[in-house]
Amino acid sequence: MKANTIFTYEVVHTADERFYMYHLVNQSVILRYQLTQTETDGHIQRTTWVEKTKSWSTLVSIPRDRCDDYALCGNYSTCDSTNFPVCQCLKKFKPKSPMDWSATDWKQGCERETPLNCTDGDGFIKYTGVKLPETTGSWFNMSMNLKECKEKCLKNCLCMAYANTDIRGDGSGCIMWSTDLTDIRQLNNAGQDLYIRMAASELGSQANSKMKKRVIIIVVFALVAGMIVLGLGIWYLWKMRNLKHYRLEKEDLELPLFDLVTLTNATNKFSEEDKLGEGGFGPVYKGKLEGGQEIAVKRLSKDSIQGVDEFKNEVQLISKLQHRNLVRLLGCCIQGKEKMLVYEYMQNKCLHSFMFDETRSKLLDWQNRLDIILGIARGLLYLHHDSRLKIIHRDLKASNILLDGEMVPKISDFGMARIFGGDQLEASTKRIVGTYGYMSPEYMADGHFSVKSDVFSYGVLVLEIISGKKNKGFYHPDHDHNLLGHAWKLWNGDKCMELVDDSIGNSASAQDIRRCIQVGLLCVQKNSEQRPTMSSVLLMLSSEAVVLPNPQVPGFYIERGPINDNSSYSEKQLCLSDDATITTLLEGR
Each residue of 347-381: pLDDT tens digit? 888 899 888 888 888 888 899 999 999 999 999 99
Distance between CA 25 and CA 27 in Å, rounded? 6
Question: Mean per-residue pLDDT for 7-34?
Answer: 76
CA angle 58, 61, 65 (to 5 degrees): 145
Secondary-structure percent of the chain, ordered helix, strand, coil, rounded to 5: 30, 25, 45
Q: How many CB atoms lie within 10 A of CB 6?
A: 13
Considering only residues 432 and 74, tell me which one the structure prediction assigns the higher pLDDT: 74
Predicted confidence (pLDDT) at residue 243 exceeds the cutoff of 60: no
CA angle 397, 402, 404 (to 5 degrees): 160
- Which amino acid would we find at residue 145? N
Percentage above 90 pLDDT, the chain? 40
**Prior bond of 85 cis (ω within 30°):** yes
Predicted confidence (pLDDT) at residue 192 exceeds the cutoff of 70: yes
Predicted confidence (pLDDT) at residue 583 exceeds the cutoff of 80: no
395 is catalytic: yes
Distance between CA 46 and CA 22 in Å, rounded? 12
Separation of CA 508 from chain center: 36
Domains for the chain: give ranges and CATH numbers: 7-62 (no CATH), 68-206 (no CATH), 237-345 (3.30.200.20), 348-585 (1.10.510.10)
The most confident of 156-160, 187-191, 579-583, by mean pLDDT? 156-160
What are 128-146's pLDDT values in tens digits?
999 999 988 899 898 999 9
Distance between CA 285 and CA 542 in Å, rounded? 37
Distance between CA 228 and CA 235 in Å, rounded? 10
Predicted confidence (pLDDT) at residue 42 exceeds the cutoff of 80: no
Distance between CA 480 and CA 476 in Å, rounded? 7
Predicted confidence (pLDDT) at residue 70 exceeds the cutoff of 80: yes
Question: Mean per-residue pLDDT for 555-572?
Answer: 47
What's the pLDDT at 33? 80
Separation of CA 518 from chain center: 25
What's the pLDDT at 351? 92
- Which amino acid would we find at residue 396? L
Determine which one of 80, 183, 395, 501 is catalytic: 395
What are 447-474's pLDDT values in tens digits?
889 999 999 999 999 999 999 999 988 8
What are 319-343's pLDDT values in tens digits?
778 899 999 888 888 887 788 889 8
What's the pLDDT at 241? 56
Distance between CA 179 and CA 45 in Å, rounded? 31
How, if at all, do strands 77-79 and 184-186 pair?
Answer: parallel
Distance between CA 408 and CA 348 in Å, rounded? 10
What's the pLDDT at 146? 94
Predicted confidence (pLDDT) at residue 567 exceeds the cutoff of 60: no
Q: Where are the beta strands (DSSP E) in 106-151?
A: 110-112, 123-131, 138-141
What's the pLDDT at 588? 46
The most confident of 53-62, 74-83, 569-578, by mean pLDDT? 74-83
What's the pLDDT at 113? 92
Question: Mean per-residue pLDDT for 49-71?
Answer: 83
Q: How confident is residue 242, by pLDDT bands cut at 50, 70 and 90?
A: very low
Non-local CB neighbours of 54 within 8 Å, separated by 6+ positions: none
* Structural Rg of the chain based on CA atoms: 29
Residues paired with residue 141 on neighbouring β-strands, in sequence order: 174
8 Å CB contact between 270 and 280: no
What's the pLDDT at 397? 93
What's the pLDDT at 303? 66
Half-sphere exposure (CA, 13 Å, Cβ side) for 127?
A: 25
Considering only residues 563 and 265, tell me which one the structure prediction assigns the higher pLDDT: 265
Question: Mean per-residue pLDDT for 527-536?
Answer: 94
In the 8-state DSSP scheme, what is residue 481? Answer: B
What's the pLDDT at 210? 61
Residues in the chain: 589
Supply the DSSP string of 563-575, one letter for each residue: --------GGGTT
What's the pLDDT at 1? 52
Predicted confidence (pLDDT) at residue 84 exceeds the cutoff of 90: no
Distance between CA 297 and CA 86 in Å, rounded? 43
Percentage above 70 pLDDT, the chain? 87
What's the pLDDT at 4? 72
Q: Measured between alpha carbons, how far is residue 542 from residues 279, 536, 548, 576 in Å?
A: 35, 10, 12, 32
Non-local CB neighbours of 555 within 8 Å, separated by 6+ positions: 440, 441, 456, 484, 524, 525, 526
> 413, 418, 414: which is closest to 431 by C-alpha?
418
Element (H, E) at 366: helix 366-381
Considering only residues 410 and 572, tell me which one the structure prediction assigns the higher pLDDT: 410
What's the pLDDT at 205? 54
8 Å CB contact between 534 and 455: yes
Q: How confident is residue 277, by pLDDT bands cut at 50, 70 and 90?
A: confident
Q: How confident is residue 95, by pLDDT bands cut at 50, 70 and 90?
A: very high
Q: Measured between alpha carbons, how far is residue 107 from residues 88, 96, 100, 172, 178 in Å?
A: 12, 10, 9, 33, 20
